[in-house]
Structures are given as C-alpha cells and as structure tokens.
Amino acid sequence: MSVTTLPSRGMALRQPGWIARLLDYKPFLIVMCLAPAIGLLTVFLTYPLGLGVWLAFTDTTIGQRGIFIGLENFQYLLKDPLWWNAVFYSVFYTGVATIGKFALGFWLALLLNNHFPLKSLLRAIVLLPWIVPTVLSALAFWWIYDPQFSIISYLLVDVLHIRSTNIDFLGTPWPARFSLIAANIWRGIPFVAISLLAGLQTISPSLYEAAMLDGASAWQRFRYITFPMMMPILAIVMTFSIIFTFTDFQLVYAITRGGPVNSTHLLATLAFQRGIAGGELGEGAAIAVSMIPFLVFATLFSYFGLARRKWQQGEAND
C-alpha cells in the first residue's frame, strides 16, 4: 500500500529562487550581457590604445623602462623636419590617393551597375586587388618600379623605343611619392567600387523612370538622383578609405621603406622606424598618437560634411 501526498497549495505557489529573481532583474541582465563585449573592448582595444598613449609621454626604449616626460616627445617632433615631412606626405598621399580611388572607383561602380554579359565574373575580377595580400601586391609593384628591371621601362625602352633610358621610379622623391600613390589607388579601387556598387543597387529604378519621363538627361539623372542618393554611402566609404589610406604601412614599407632620402615616410612607417627599428618606443608612440587628430578631423569632416547634410533629410542646405 502506498500513500500519495498531494502537493500543498503553498508549494505550488513557491517563490522563485534568488538566482532566478536576479536573472529577471533587467539592469542586472543588461550588465551581464554587455560585460563580455566591454571586457573584450577593454582588453583588445582600450588597453593597447591607452598603453600607446601612455608610452607617448614616456622615454621608454626597447629593453629599458621609461619614465614620464610629459610633452617632451611631441616638442621634439615639432622641431623634427622628418616628422613634418611625414605629416606632409601622409596628408598628400591620403588626399591624392582618395581622390583617385573615388574617381576611378565610382566610375567603375557605375559601369558595373549596368547589365552586360559575364557581369558576375567581371565583378569578381574587380575584387582581385583587394583579395591579394598587400605585401604580395607591394612586392609586385616593387618589381614594376625597379630602376633596372621595371616592366614599364622595358616596354618603353626595349619594345616601343619611346625612351632611351629606364624610368627611375623610386630613386627621386616626387616620382617615388607618386609611384606609391598609384599602387595605393590600384589596391583601394575594389573597396570603393564594390561598396559604391552596393549603394547604387539600392536606388529605386522608379526614380530614374520618373526623371526620364520628365526629360532629364543622363548627366541630370546622375547629378540629381544618383549622386544625392549615394551621399550617405559615399560618406561612409570615404571615411573608411581615408582612415585606411592615412594609416597605410605595408605598401610604403615594402616598396621604399620611407626612402629615397626619407621622402616617402608616412606617419605610420616613421612611427615603426623610430619605435621598433630605432628602439625609441616612446617617440614611436608619440608619432603614432600624432596621427589621431588628423584621423579625427578627416572622420568628422567626411561624416558631418557629407552624411549629415540637411538636404538629405528633405531640407535645404544652410
């Protein structure tokens, strides 16, 4: 014989445990859910950035602990012609390369937005420069620009007989600067083209149909539909492009290492040269930190200047 005890009414209505109650508490849940992300950001972003900024205010060298020296590194840089040269070339490199990438990338995006045979294949091919590891493409350009074995010089001198001597791409400052910019444009075009192509495909065809009914020319359709509609994505892509270009390192380091006569040093390569190769970690960090104002300015300019224009929200510009 067995005796069965029915659950009492009190047990059926038992209050949940403290863990359950805690997990039902919304502020706690928010903190719990955000903690991993905040932890990761702290460890992998905030700490390295903070350490870099701290090093910039010390005289740390490789193998030796440094002490806090305030703004001494920055004061030295302001008197250093090489730093000024790197600032100039970083801005020039970024400006010219970005204009080049956007002009060609936008043009390519417009072309790829049309219907034509093998469209998918061509779009895939356009991505190639982006897929190839940067150092590999840098080595290819290094060969292309070689003073003795350049394929361009070979074509011009030995095949077409247009020139009698090889082109000295990297041996003098300005040709070297433009050679690097050309390599950067080649490498950056796919990012711009594919991003803008994605933007172009979001524009409703009905807008173009309406414009055509109104008799708008191709230029007018571009000027009054395509370009305004593309402004938000242009702003985002330009912001990223400026950041990528301004902080470029691999192309320059692999092709010229900042030469000839330090004329092609970007701030990133100069920071590495001084901080790691030269062992001046503090000064290298200061050069890297000196990039931040330029990047913030460029980001704010492209973001507020292009993305937040009132006319995009249906209002006139101020």
Q: Is 165 in the site for another protein (CB under 8 A)?
A: yes
Measured distance CA(113)–CA(131) in Å, rounded: 21
Query: Which residue in the set 274, 286, 289, 302 belongs to the binding site for another protein (CB under 8 A)?
Result: 274
In the complex with another protein, the residue whose CB is nearer, 1 or 162, is 162
Measured distance CA(74)–CA(67) in Å, rounded: 15
How far apart are CB 147 and another protein at their closest, in Å?
A: 2
- How many residues interact with another protein (rule CB under 8 A)? 37
On the 0-12 / 13-18 / 19+ scale of CB atoms within 10 A, 64 is exposed
How far apart are CB 12 and another protein at their closest, in Å?
A: 60
Tokens matching residue 60: 């740390």
In the complex with another protein, the residue whose CB is nearer, 55 or 197, is 55
Measured distance CA(247)–CA(254) in Å, rounded: 15
- Of the candidates 45, 47, 73, 38, the one whose C-alpha atom is nearest the C-alpha of residue 59 is 73
Q: Is 81 in the site for another protein (CB under 8 A)?
A: yes
Q: CA-based Rg of the chain, rounded to a whole angstrom?
A: 28
Q: Is 258 in the site for another protein (CB under 8 A)?
A: yes
Query: Which residue in the set 184, 245, 256, 290 belongs to the binding site for another protein (CB under 8 A)?
Result: 256
Q: Is 169 in the site for another protein (CB under 8 A)?
A: yes
Q: Is 176 in the site for another protein (CB under 8 A)?
A: yes
Q: Is 168 in the site for another protein (CB under 8 A)?
A: yes
| Per-residue contact string for residues 45-64; x = within reach of another protein by CB under 8 A | --------------x-xxxx
Q: Is 138 in the site for another protein (CB under 8 A)?
A: no
Q: Is 164 in the site for another protein (CB under 8 A)?
A: no
State the amino acid at position 294 in one-letter form.
F
Query: 6: phi > 0 → left, psi -120 to 50 → alpha, else beta; which?
Result: beta
Distance of CA 292 to the CA centre of its chain: 13
E strand or H helix at 225, and its extent?
Answer: none
Query: Which residue in the set 2, 4, 15, 148 belongs to the binding site for another protein (CB under 8 A)?
Result: 148
Measured distance CA(104)–CA(99) in Å, rounded: 8
> Residue written as tokens 């250093």?
80
- Of the candidates 266, 255, 250, the one whose C-alpha atom is nearest the C-alpha of residue 139 is 255
Stretch that binds another protein, among 97-105, 130-138, 167-175, 200-208 (CB under 8 A): 167-175
Number of Cβ atoms within 10 Å of the Cβ of 301: 14
Query: Which residue in the set 171, 207, 222, 244 belongs to the binding site for another protein (CB under 8 A)?
Result: 171
Q: Is 5 in the site for another protein (CB under 8 A)?
A: no
In the complex with another protein, the residue whose CB is nearer, 38 or 277, is 277
Stretch that binds another protein, among 87-95, 120-128, 274-282, 290-298 (CB under 8 A): 274-282
In the complex with another protein, the residue whose CB is nearer, 129 or 279, is 279
**Bond preceding residue 260 cis, omega within 30 of 0:** yes
Residues 6+ apart with CB under 8 A from 21: 15
Residues that bind another protein (CB under 8 A): 59, 61-64, 76, 81-82, 145-149, 165-166, 168-173, 176, 256-263, 273-274, 276-280
